[in-house]
Structure 1
Amino acid sequence: MPFTALPLLPRPVHEEQMPGEFMLTAQTTLSHHPGLESVAISLQNSLRSATGFPVPVDVEQGNISLLLDPGLGESEYSVSISPNTVEILGGDAAGVFYGCQTFLQLLPAAIFRSAPVANVQWSAPACHIADKPRFGWRGIMLDVVRHFLPKREIFRFIDLMAMHKLNTLHLHLSDDQGWRVEILRYPKLTQIGAWRRETQVGAGANAGADGRPHGGYYTQGDIREIVAYARLRFIDVVPEIETPGHVQAALAAYPELGVTDQTLEVYTRWGINYNVLNVEDSTVEFFNNVFDEIMDIFPGKYIGVGGDECPKDQWRNDPRSLERMADLGLNRVEDLQSWFIAQMETHISAHGRRIFGWDEILEGELAPTATVASWRGMTGARSAARRGHDVVCCPDDLAYFDYRQSLLPSEPIPVSIPLGVAEVYGFDPVPHGLSPEQALHILGGQANLWTEHIDSARMLDYMAFPRLCAMAEVLWATGEKDLAAFTPRLEAHLARLDAVGVEYRQAEGPLPWQQRPGVKGRPETHQERAALIAKLVASIKSSPDDDLS
């Protein structure tokens, strides 16, 4: 199948160009089927802002019509443009919404500006487009712990996700360096846990600190608003509360949750922290109560429980933890983590939800309904799928957008290996070695934006784009990929990002104000990174037929 000649991103399944063009004018009207009211209003707002045209909705027969077609599948759509009409059909409201995003891309890039633009011919080429997504999970993980993003920035990021047909926002809400969501039953989680006295600047044990307090959190009202805002754009919000490691912010607020009697502050450094939760029933009850409130404000199917990078040293050196291990009939200290995750899973699944955790949760027995985020390469994805678990693939060497984008010394606070647009575009979320039945467990993938070194919305733009454009196509488009064909479409798409106001990374490298001279990172070679990941994944218990290569 030839690649589209139209500058669309992500690339659609099929496109056919025709003679002529549709002109958007002050007389253009919009009609829609029942059930598509919010989609129609969204398109109306998008068309009004830059054109200044009224584009009235709910006329009997508009020049632009939004229609439901039972013959199309979930999220599937078609766009048919003639010189007189635009017809956008979808198998459901989400499909119609995605068709609207495609229609907007067929108009001049200035359509993405927020105020009227003069001297623009608002035309779209006559064509027929038929399209549907390859994967159901097309996501991004946004870490709002290391550096807090105000609610208004979350809304902006959701809009950018919708523009790229991404549909899952994984919010990382708690960690050692902060607790970012209000829990009414335990107010100290935000009164104390949402604030740290300073922040590490740069990477490494000798990195300095800025001496400035940092913090923030979302009230439950904020969260409900974020979830509703995302839902209007057909984006699910998946919350993550870390357990049983990455918990020092919670321990600072409620020391009784910890293994030691040490009084802790919210962590001000980066890296793996050795302070973990104790394994008492009271601590299990505490987090079950936390998840009760999380499930109340996040209505989606998936609830993140963390499970990654949990050192076992404190349990191993603590007589009470060893006694508890024996009481539970566990043979190894390592089994305490699996036991704790199992307690969360039992509680969450009793509410009709599914736990979502990093691939370390594969190191023990795992409920069949658990969904695994495979980040340490693709080993976790293969192992999980072969065991019958659903998987979201986000291997660090292809999906970690905190990693540096080139070998240039001017890259800001360079982390790990170079990961540019070309490398992201080469990502395939379905690992080799799976049977067709096992491959059905691959729900899709996501990019992960860890924010240790992303301290502003401007830097978030720089690290996310245009790599997220490549990821969007990876997760949406079917068929063979062609980087040479993708590149000119991406170049055309950058004009849309310019119109929106995204401060993306230029192909030539960072602009002067995007650099961080004098602030050290932790660059790695591919060989160094591969060796570290190989060591990390050795702990995954695999069935005899697992290929861990």
Structure 2
Amino acid sequence: MLLPLPCSAVPGDGVFPLAESTRITAPGELAPTARWLQSVLRPATGLPLPVSGMAEPAPAGSALALALDPDLPAEGYRLACGPGGVTITGGDTAGVFYGCQALRQLLPPQIYRAAGTAGVRWAVPYVTVEDSPRFGWRGAMLDVARHFMPKHDVLRFLDLLAVHRINTLHLHLTDDQGWRVEILRHPRLTEVGSWRRESQLGAAPDAPNDGRPHGGYYTQDDLREIVAYAAERHITVMPEIDVPGHSQAAIAAYPELGVQGERLEASPRWGINTNILNAEESTLDFFLGVFDEVMDLFPGRFIGIGGDECPKDQWDADPRTRELMAERGLGDSKELQAWFLGRIGAHIAARGRRVFGWDEILEGAVPEGVAVASWRGMTGARTAARRGYDVISCPDDQVYLDYRQSELESEPIPFAVPLTLADAYAFDPVPDGLTEQETARILGGQANIWTEHMDSPRTVDYYVFPRLCAVAEALWSRGGRDFDDFLVRLRPHLARLDALGVEYRREDGPLPWQSRPGVPGKPATRADWTEFIDGLVAHIKT
């Protein structure tokens, strides 16, 4: 009952019991993984499970042995359980870690609890599992700008991602409604921009505000801790600083960054905002400094720069901006946005990193080394791959986990189209019609968790699970899709989520306290939504 579904699992006849004599053995390079495995098996079992090196072989039939085999694929593993114990062999350290996650799933679900459970028999069934992932980018985007998630809960979320073999956490750190990352050279970004006086309650344009201040931010020490904690679980944390739109919180902190120079506040309203950054060299220098501090905190390959939903009204109406465009030989404001993002992209590339941007960046000159996040359906994925750019697929109608989960009136703050568990399971990051060479440009995919309507970690649980379980299998598993088989394996997996304290959505709908009666939503039919998205991307189709 493994989830995600492995490439193969051949059961045997018998079980290997964990006992006081059981120990974990590992070579030196796998010692951190061995210690992690010990840390997650000890609390529930109450067993000591000492860790020893390979030079100290355990008695026959008593070991959980970890090993490396470079002939196995990257992130792949082989788990073999028999009378001699359990051996987990990985193509690399990540593969060994994922084999350890499979081992946990072979034990009773109480293994996910934080303290012992009386009467549980801790035994691993005899089995041989061979497995490796389909895609290298298996991600989840968490929006902590709209509603801040405290560090403790981010660490918990990383643990949940690791259970599901997800290896990328995309942190959306800045937006109109809040700035969440400490920047030492610009302290007002968090002193002013990290909180708002109230929040919109609901999705409708005329929804009221709640009158309640909201805020929070991560110190640089917090972020170093998050990055290190993630790395121990073979998860890369990718930051996103959204420019030149979605920037009102930054402008609230430093009004000189805005086009009109007005003193603003971090926005208490959702939606697309017309307040954007100006195009002065001083503003560009400001953000190059921001990205320098961000790159010092996040060592991963990609750095998110946004580029999405940037209305050009203020630029088009501003004489100074038109003067700057003329000086730079730019024909219009779309070319100005491409110039702005290109300068940031070049700065990031000079530090050996690559740019991650939303598919709006295809509307102009594309920054060097870009990976395009295709969110407006799959048009951006198809277009980018054909133009020779790398792609992360995250189509809104398949993996936007803020979308409502059914047509039930009890769904909390129903937004956009229904995105069911079956819809999420059907997600395929590779669009139709690509050549083999173009298909190789699809790095993988991710689910996006926008939090306008998720004001607590409990609410995030409800929107995300179990749909993220389905997305995880879509990104990991190489075999054909069988939703009925997935449901058979999901049901015991929900017992694991129960043990972990995840307040997921039940199959028959929200529990009473998960609904939000009286809070307006903004639902749409799939036909209307498809027409809307098609209109947004009509001019980038190839």
TM-score, L = length of structure 1? 0.97
The match for 2:12 among 4, 18, 28 is 18
For residue 528 of structure 1, report the CA deviation from its aligned partner.
1.1
Question: Is 2:32 aligned against 1:38?
Answer: yes
User: Take 1:75 and 1:218, find their aligned partners in 2: how far apart are those partners?
Assistant: 30
Residue in 2 aligned with 1:406? 406
C-alpha contact 2:155 2:226 (8 A) present in aligned 1: yes
User: Take 2:19 and 2:157, find their aligned partners in 1: how far apart are those partners?
Assistant: 30
User: Take 2:493 and 2:334, find their aligned partners in 1: how far apart are those partners?
Assistant: 48
User: Take 1:232 and 1:271, find their aligned partners in 2: how far apart are those partners?
Assistant: 36
Residue in 2 aligned with 1:488? 488
Q: What are the residue-to-residue correspondences of 1:69-468 with 2, within 5 Å?
A: 69-468=69-468
For residue 37 of structure 1, report the CA deviation from its aligned partner.
1.0
Amino acid at match of 1:40: A
Secondary structure of the 1:200 match is coil
Secondary structure of the 1:209 match is coil
User: Take 2:256 and 2:368, find their aligned partners in 1: how far apart are those partners?
Assistant: 32
For residue 214 of structure 1, report the CA deviation from its aligned partner.
0.6
Residue in 2 aligned with 1:61? 57
For residue 479 of structure 1, report the CA deviation from its aligned partner.
2.0
Amino acid at match of 1:37: A
Secondary structure of the 1:535 match is helix
User: Take 2:493 and 2:440, find their aligned partners in 1: how far apart are those partners?
Assistant: 31
For residue 368 of structure 1, report the CA deviation from its aligned partner.
4.6
Amino acid at match of 1:399: V
CA offsets per residue over residues 519-543 of structure 1, 9 Å max, x none? Answer: 0110010011101101111232x4x
Q: RMSD in angstroms over aligned alpha carbons?
A: 0.8
For residue 46 of structure 1, report the CA deviation from its aligned partner.
1.1
Quote the sequence identity (%): 58
C-alpha contact 1:166 1:235 (8 A) present in aligned 2: yes
C-alpha contact 2:110 2:499 (8 A) present in aligned 1: yes
Secondary structure of the 2:472 match is helix
Secondary structure of the 2:43 match is helix
C-alpha contact 2:355 2:368 (8 A) present in aligned 1: no
C-alpha contact 1:368 1:389 (8 A) present in aligned 2: no
User: Take 1:425 and 1:445, find their aligned partners in 2: how far apart are those partners?
Assistant: 13
User: Take 1:50 and 1:405, find their aligned partners in 2: how far apart are those partners?
Assistant: 34
* 530-539 or 231-240, larger mean C-alpha shift: 530-539
Secondary structure of the 1:50 match is helix
Question: Is 2:46 aligned against 1:52?
Answer: yes
Amino acid at match of 2:273: N
CA offsets per residue over residues 203-223 of structure 1, 9 Å max, x none? Answer: 122111111111000000000
User: Take 2:271 and 2:67, find their aligned partners in 1: how far apart are those partners?
Assistant: 50
Unaligned runs of 5+ in 2: none
C-alpha contact 1:276 1:310 (8 A) present in aligned 2: yes
C-alpha contact 2:245 2:275 (8 A) present in aligned 1: yes
User: Take 1:285 and 1:539, find their aligned partners in 2: how far apart are those partners?
Assistant: 31
Secondary structure of the 1:134 match is coil
User: Take 1:193 and 1:440, find their aligned partners in 2: how far apart are those partners?
Assistant: 40
User: Take 2:322 and 2:407, find their aligned partners in 1: how far apart are those partners?
Assistant: 47
Q: Post-superposition, which runs of at least 4 consecutive aligned residues in structure 1 deviate over 4 A?
A: none
User: Take 1:276 and 1:156, find their aligned partners in 2: how far apart are those partners?
Assistant: 34
Secondary structure of the 2:249 match is helix
User: Take 1:310 and 1:538, find their aligned partners in 2: how far apart are those partners?
Assistant: 17
Secondary structure of the 1:141 match is strand
Secondary structure of the 1:12 match is coil
Residue in 2 aligned with 1:537? 537
C-alpha contact 1:368 1:388 (8 A) present in aligned 2: no
Secondary structure of the 1:360 match is helix
User: Take 2:287 and 2:180, find their aligned partners in 1: how far apart are those partners?
Assistant: 15
Amino acid at match of 2:397: D
Secondary structure of the 2:260 match is coil
User: Take 1:124 and 1:316, find their aligned partners in 2: how far apart are those partners?
Assistant: 66
Count of matched residue positions in the alignment of Structure 1 and Structure 2: 536
